[in-house]
Amino acid sequence: KELRKLLNLEEWILEQLTRLYDCQEEEIPELEIDVDELLDMESDDTRAARVKELLVDCYKPTEAFISGLLDKIRGMQKLSTPQKK
């Protein structure tokens, strides 16, 4: 189930990047948005800063993409955190 969520998130990222860069999937600049790396980061601010660095060449506004990505990452963190009884 977690793997499916991860794949869905990666597909969503690709879809959003094609919109942001206004191009086909094959033409997206070589970006490595590493979901695992983002999940391991301490805070949303750190994550947002990292994603902004990666999208530095994007001429369209990236705020909506970044906030959507952070929401999805928070949702995945809840899944991967063991539930306390």
Does 67 map to a domain? yes
pLDDT tens sequence across 21-30: 888 877 777 7
- The number of domains in the chain is 1
Closest Cα partner for 60 from 22, 9, 25?
22
Structural domain of 14: 2-80
The CATH number of whichever domain residue 64 belongs to comes to 1.10.150
CB 47 within 8 A of CB 73: yes
* Model pTM score: 0.82
Does 34 map to a domain? yes
CA 25 to CA 84: how far, in whole Å?
41
pLDDT tens sequence across 58-84: 889 999 999 999 999 998 877 665 554
Quick count: other Cβ atoms within 10 Å of Cβ 9? 18
Does 85 map to a domain? no
